[in-house]
Amino acid sequence: MTKATARDRVVVVGGGLAGLSATMQLAESGVPVDLMSLTPVKRSHSVCAQGGINSVNDQTRQLGDTEWKHLDDTVYGGDFLQHQPPVKEMAYWAPR
C-alpha cells in the first residue's frame, strides 16, 4: 500500500456496527479516517437493537399493550428518526 496523503482521508458515515467496523479496519491499516454519525455512537441502531425485536402478544395484550402503543414506543425510542410507515407495518405484522 502506498503512503496516504491528506487527499486520501476517508469519511465513514454511520456509527453502527458496520460503520465502526469499517472505521477500525481503515485506521488499523493506517488510512486517515473520520467517523460521522447523526446520533452518539452509544445510541446507534446496532446498540439499541441488540435485544432483538419486540412485538405485541397475548401476554402483553393482557397488560394493556396494543400495536399502536408498540408503534408509539418504537418511534419515540428512535428519537422520531425512522421512516414511520415501515415501523407501523412491523408493529402490526410482527409475530404474535
Instruction: Give the pLDDT band of residue 54 (cuts 50, 70, 90).
Output: confident
- pTM for the model: 0.48
Kindly tell me if the per-residue pLDDT of 56 is higher than 60.
Answer: yes
Q: Which three cell numbers stand for residue 4?
A: 496516504
Return mean pLDDT, the chain.
84
pLDDT above 70 covers a percentage of the chain that reads 80
Phi and psi at residue 2, in whole multiples of 5°? -80, 160
Provide the β-strand partners of residue 10: 33
- The band of 85, judged by pLDDT with boundaries at 50, 70 and 90, is very high
Q: What is the pLDDT of residue 29?
A: 94
Distance (Å, whole) CA 3 – CA 16: 28
